Structure 1
């Protein structure tokens, strides 16, 4: 009888161990976890907000890459107050190792650079596993055009990694239903509005291509991104090409030292842009950085855009 009890216990332990092992797709890699991360670090405001939306504070050692450029949503400030910011901009490998991290949620150009010192390969020898932001995967290979599924995918994968699948699935389902209901009542014209995303830069503007999240947000709101023909996520272009597209609305991304108001004034007062429909009609709408990048504020951003586009 004792042998039977021991065998049953071993079988249950083996089953538990098997269930604890989880594999997720991260860009072009399959990452396997044999336990829930306990010392996770997120980089950037939108990625940190994803972690907070899933209530993962107790599994986090801190975050990086926010105060050097931008701020968190006021609603989430209290939640993150219990966590230290380990680096104001991109973290070094030493910062992550020094924090005894076992997980890094980042992306390409969201805390990591291709060929840089902090990558999944350079962190692996230190036991730090990396999950990459789906939108950013275009920097290291091919992927489908950006869509809301990029953000949903990240939340669902984080749910699996941290063993909060039901929480993640419920959150994503709520987002899907909210967006579907909103789009069902959206009163938009048959022809999508031409929209230009102005992130910053005066000599040459930084904008979003077909793989940048604003493209998905604009399309959901009934517009079309005039630079979605560019096979990039975020990219510099020349003003001449922008003027040729004659955007009807300009979406300004608000973060950094140059304010959204200053960016708007630059465009309104530059004679080179005087014939743009958006400038002539003073049609500008501002998105905060964390609204324009993949994260919990994307549905709110779509509604804000639709209001600016159509008065919905």
Structure 2
């Protein structure tokens, strides 16, 4: 049995111009450099659309990935608060727990327009269909119309209507940090972060075990049909960079439903359990090990389960932590 359960896991308003001087920021000590984009406005792409941003002072983040990106850039002083749905593990488990504690908790539901208006937000950071939503009436276009700036994760943009953008998930993380760095005027800090993350990914890829990639199935949830990761979300890059192969990596989707027959036919040797919400990872493992359709799948027979924290699976800095842990797991895996 090769089961890994990681310790600590559970898976616009108008603003005053900012003077173009060096200002020490909270968190990681990022600085606004003289002559940087922090003076008044800067033009940055938002899912392929050129958008002019004024330096935010009351940003609102939706979910851990959004807040983590801002906190990693040392921007806690310019974050007003966050909305954190119940699926997200407790913020006290975050590497940026102190930053979360220093800003306002705005709600534990889905993102909505009323919340950000009441917060007097001058920037909302979220993903397309994972925060911003036509159905719920909170889109970048709607916020533009009421004077609230918005930023969308590049990883989520490939199906954004009108202004699509396609990047691989890890490149989406790097792109977001670069763009947020420009919007907030902390370009040097963004560059340092991205270079560090690229180096960590390269170090993992240099240690990939010899032989064929390990077939991997990510199990998010679902009994009648499993919910899993396609090619357009971070677990796909985590799996491939670690030396595995996402059995649904050929699906040009983000998170999607598939059939159990397809899972069985792919014969995954490892199952990644995405850990979040009110269903513990062990309950998902118990379901898979007792589910007759999966009884002869190699990963289930060998009980090769790896638990990936929710914030390691959605776009954010903790993707790199998830990669390193999963890569270590694969290096120690005894294949039949």
What TM-score comes out, normalization by structure 1 length?
A: 0.89
- Please tell me the root mean square deviation across aligned C-alpha atoms, in Å: 2.0
- Which SS does the other structure have where 1:294 is aligned? coil
| C-alpha distance in 2 between matches for 1:208 and 1:68 | 17
Q: Which one has the bigger helix percentage?
A: 1
The residue aligned with 2:258 is: 237
The residue aligned with 2:125 is: 105
| C-alpha distance in 2 between matches for 1:83 and 1:16 | 26
Q: Give CA deviations for 1:63-88 in whole Å, capped at 9, x if unaligned.
A: 11344643233332222101112121
The aligned runs of 1:20-169 (5 Å cut-off) are 20-33=40-53, 35-67=54-86, 69-72=88-91, 73-140=93-160, 142-144=164-166, 146-169=168-191
| C-alpha distance in 1 between matches for 2:71 and 2:235 | 22
Q: Give CA deviations for 1:118-152 in whole Å, capped at 9, x if unaligned.
A: 00111112211111011111232654462411111
Match of 2:228 among 200, 207, 227: 207
The residue aligned with 2:238 is: 217
- Residues 108 and 114, structure 1, Cα contact 8 Å, conserved in 2: no
Q: 1:16 to 1:201 in 2, by over 3 A?
A: closer
- Residues 157 and 166, structure 2, Cα contact 8 Å, conserved in 1: no
| C-alpha distance in 2 between matches for 1:218 and 1:297 | 14
TM-superposed CA distance for 1:108, in Å, is: 1.3
Residues 238-247 or 283-292, more deviating: 238-247
The residue aligned with 2:319 is: 298
- Residues 37 and 184, structure 2, Cα contact 8 Å, conserved in 1: no
What TM-score comes out, normalization by structure 2 length?
A: 0.83
1:180 is the counterpart of 2:223: no
The residue aligned with 1:197 is: 218
The residue aligned with 1:170 is: 192
TM-superposed CA distance for 1:297, in Å, is: 1.1
- Which SS does the other structure have where 2:95 is aligned? helix
| C-alpha distance in 2 between matches for 1:247 and 1:188 | 17
Q: 1:226 to 1:21 in 2, by over 3 A?
A: same
| C-alpha distance in 1 between matches for 2:110 and 2:271 | 29
| C-alpha distance in 2 between matches for 1:255 and 1:272 | 24
Q: Give CA deviations for 1:135-180 in whole Å, capped at 9, x if unaligned.
A: 1112326544624111111011110000000011011111112222
- Which SS does the other structure have where 1:306 is aligned? helix
| C-alpha distance in 2 between matches for 1:25 and 1:276 | 44
| C-alpha distance in 1 between matches for 2:39 and 2:188 | 15
Aligned residues: 297
| C-alpha distance in 1 between matches for 2:167 and 2:317 | 20
TM-superposed CA distance for 1:20, in Å, is: 3.5
Q: Which runs of 5+ in 1 are unaligned?
A: 1-11
- Which SS does the other structure have where 1:105 is aligned? strand
Q: Which runs of 5+ in 2 are unaligned?
A: 1-19, 21-34
| C-alpha distance in 1 between matches for 2:322 and 2:132 | 26
> Which of 1 and 2 has greater Rg?
1
TM-superposed CA distance for 1:228, in Å, is: 1.2
TM-superposed CA distance for 1:311, in Å, is: 1.5
Q: Give CA deviations for 1:231-277 in whole Å, capped at 9, x if unaligned.
A: 11111112111111111100010000111111011001112101101
| Larger relative contact order (Cα-Cα within 8 Å, sequence gap ≥ 6) | 2
